[in-house]
């Protein structure tokens, strides 16, 4: 089947731009790139499309303003740099968008805005209301308050979560690379651009390298993770170079630029998508080979008898990672029992749960309806 890049009629578009594309190595804003990006997005806006910009660069810009030679490493330093850089960055966006008569609104998000259902819905309502007012939302992670427990980690994943949040049709990841290659093109002259990806298998994942620029947090691994989230959300993802002239216009026009990650046919329903990518992981449940097969091949729920161990502390209703005896994650799910309860009933038959705990609310530790396999 030929994959056709028919994106011209897409109405809701999310564009993510990386630090290296809009911030010079000196830490100063790349005004030429910012202006070029804004012009393209303003043109999409003028066509009647709904556009969201997810931007990196606040920490990098702030680091430059503070005279730091490289990206800050401690949370307080990152927060300080972000507090300085976010204002500089938004000022630049507001200035350039205003020249095209476009109003922008700043939206800062953290992991909790996706993991908490009420905040998730509030964020979606806010973005939809901005669309109604013909405003382009400019989104960044709220680095000024985020700590390790609530950080999304990179704006690639943030952009994919946002694309799913607003039911976007396409996510365009703009970076300093032309797409996904068979090898690192900066090292291997034989490296070839992979134009289409329909499945994120182990061969594709093996192509991911390390972190990109000294001012960024992303690399190919984070872009593949973003693509995975978007593919499960029914969103087309395109990875392309921000330096290519009119790249956004060309991608929407259907030109064969960059790498397209096509949505999966078995799109995750909203609840399972939230379990897989929105909710915060609170621990791990380790299962034996029999349970792993039952979960991955037979569509079963997770019973106490197949559990060999746990890691972390979690409560009933928390999301946990389910790993096999080799340490490979095979799924994520919402647990019916706390970590203390699972410790007591692991390896037991369901008929023994009442005797061990003194009660039994559920036969399953994780029910199939609250379980996502093969992320």
> What pLDDT score does 72 carry?
82
Q: Would residue 312 count as lying in a domain?
A: yes
Q: Would residue 6 count as lying in a domain?
A: no
Q: Note whether 252 and 349 are same-domain residues.
A: no
Q: How far is CA 348 from CA 104, 287, 316, 364, in A?
A: 57, 13, 19, 12
CATH of the domain at 321: 2.30.130.10
Which helix (H) or strand (E) is 333 found in, with range?
strand 329-334
Q: Note whether 216 and 261 are same-domain residues.
A: yes
> What pLDDT score does 2 carry?
66
Q: Note whether 144 and 88 are same-domain residues.
A: yes
> What pLDDT score does 143 carry?
65
Q: Note whether 171 and 309 are same-domain residues.
A: no
Which strands, in side-by-side order, build the sheet including 170-175? 103-109, 135-141, 50-55, 12-17, 170-175, 236-241, 259-261, 196-197
> What pLDDT score does 141 carry?
84
Q: Note whether 35 and 176 are same-domain residues.
A: yes
81 and 47 in contact (C-beta within 8 Å)? no
> What pLDDT score does 213 carry?
44
> What pLDDT score does 144 carry?
63
Q: Would residue 47 count as lying in a domain?
A: yes
- Given a cut of 50, whether residue 354 has pLDDT beyond it is yes
> What pLDDT score does 115 carry?
81
Which band of pLDDT confidence, cut at 50, 70 and 90, is reported for residue 190? Answer: confident
Q: Would residue 3 count as lying in a domain?
A: no
- Given a cut of 70, whether residue 276 has pLDDT beyond it is yes
Domain of residue 306: give its range.
280-373
Per-residue model confidence as pLDDT tens digits over 303-326: 999 999 999 999 999 999 999 999
Residue with tokens 């329903």: 269
Compute the half-sphere exposure of residue 180: CA atoms within 13 Å on the CB side of its CA: 26
Whole-number CA gyration radius for the chain: 22
Q: Note whether 67 and 126 are same-domain residues.
A: yes
- Predicted TM-score (pTM) of this structure: 0.85
- Given a cut of 90, whether residue 273 has pLDDT beyond it is no
Which band of pLDDT confidence, cut at 50, 70 and 90, is reported for residue 290? Answer: very high
Per-residue model confidence as pLDDT tens digits over 143-172: 666 555 445 557 899 999 999 999 999 999
Task: Give me the percent of the chain exceeding a pLDDT of 70.
Answer: 94
Of 228, 249, 269, which residue is a domain's last? 269
> What pLDDT score does 210 carry?
46
Q: Note whether 243 and 289 are same-domain residues.
A: no
Of 202, 235, 269, which residue is a domain's last? 269
Per-residue model confidence as pLDDT tens digits over 207-221: 876 444 443 444 788
Q: Would residue 274 count as lying in a domain?
A: no
> What pLDDT score does 217 carry?
41
Compute the average pLDDT of residues 348-365: 95
Q: Note whether 284 and 170 are same-domain residues.
A: no
- Given a cut of 50, whether residue 281 has pLDDT beyond it is yes
- Given a cut of 60, whether residue 360 has pLDDT beyond it is yes
Q: Note whether 125 and 225 are same-domain residues.
A: yes
> What pLDDT score does 117 carry?
76
Per-residue model confidence as pLDDT tens digits over 77-108: 888 888 999 999 999 999 999 999 999 999 99
- Given a cut of 70, whether residue 345 has pLDDT beyond it is yes
d(CA 193, CA 196): 9
- Given a cut of 90, whether residue 270 has pLDDT beyond it is no
Bridge partners, 149 (sequence order): none
CATH of the domain at 86: 3.40.1160.10
Compute the average pLDDT of residues 333-353: 96
Q: Note whether 226 and 290 are same-domain residues.
A: no
> What pLDDT score does 169 carry?
97
Q: How far is CA 139 from CA 14, 71, 84, 240, 353, in A?
A: 10, 20, 16, 20, 47
Q: Note whether 82 and 198 are same-domain residues.
A: yes
Compute the average pLDDT of residues 320-333: 95
Of 269, 293, 313, which residue is a domain's last? 269
Compute the average pLDDT of residues 165-182: 93
Q: How many structural domains comprise the chain?
A: 2
> What pLDDT score does 1 carry?
53
Q: Would residue 362 count as lying in a domain?
A: yes
d(CA 210, CA 187): 14
Q: Would residue 199 count as lying in a domain?
A: yes
Q: Would residue 5 count as lying in a domain?
A: no
Q: Note whether 233 and 285 are same-domain residues.
A: no
């Amino acid at each position: 089947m030929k994959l056709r890049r028919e994106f011209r009629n897409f109405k809701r578009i999310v564009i993510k731009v990386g630090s290296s594309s809009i911030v010079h190595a000196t830490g100063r804003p790349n005004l030429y790139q910012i202006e070029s990006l804004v012009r393209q997005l303003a043109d999409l806006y003028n066509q009647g499309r709904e556009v969201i910009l997810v931007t990196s660069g606040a920490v990098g810009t702030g680091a430059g303003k503070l005279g730091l030679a490289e990206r800050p490493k401690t949370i307080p330093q990152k927060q300080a740099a972000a507090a300085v850089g976010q204002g500089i960055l938004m000022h630049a966006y507001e200035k350039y968008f205003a020249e095209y008569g476009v109003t922008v609104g700043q939206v800062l998000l953290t992991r909790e805005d996706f993991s908490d259902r009420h905040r998730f819905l509030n964020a979606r309502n806010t973005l939809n209301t901005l669309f109604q007012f013909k405003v382009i939302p400019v989104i960044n992670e709220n680095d000024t308050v985020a700590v390790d427990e609530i950080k999304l980690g990179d704006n690639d994943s943030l952009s994919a979560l946002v694309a799913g949040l607003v039911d976007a049709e396409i996510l365009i990841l703009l970076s300093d690379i032309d797409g996904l290659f068979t090898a690192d093109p900066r090292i291997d002259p034989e490296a070839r651009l992979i134009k289409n990806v329909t499945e994120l298998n182990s061969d594709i994942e093996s192509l991911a390298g390390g972190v990109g620029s000294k001012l960024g947090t992303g690399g190919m691994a984070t872009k593949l993770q973003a693509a995975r989230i978007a593919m499960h959300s029914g969103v087309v993802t395109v990875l392309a170079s921000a330096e290519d002239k009119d790249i956004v216009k060309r991608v929407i026009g259907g030109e064969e630029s960059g790498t397209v990650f096509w949505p999966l046919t078995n799109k995750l329903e909203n609840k399972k998508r939230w379990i897989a990518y929105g909710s915060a992981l609170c621990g791990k449940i380790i299962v034996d080979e029999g349970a792993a097969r039952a979960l991955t091949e037979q569509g079963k729920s997770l019973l106490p008898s197949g559990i060999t161990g746990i890691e972390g502390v979690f409560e009933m209703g928390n999301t946990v990672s389910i790993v096999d005896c080799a340490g490979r994650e095979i799924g994520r799910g919402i647990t019916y029992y706390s970590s203390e309860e699972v410790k007591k009933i692991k390896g037991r038959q369901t008929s023994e749960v009442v005797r061990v705990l003194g009660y039994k609310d559920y036969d399953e530790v994780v029910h199939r309806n609250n379980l996502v396999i093969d992320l």
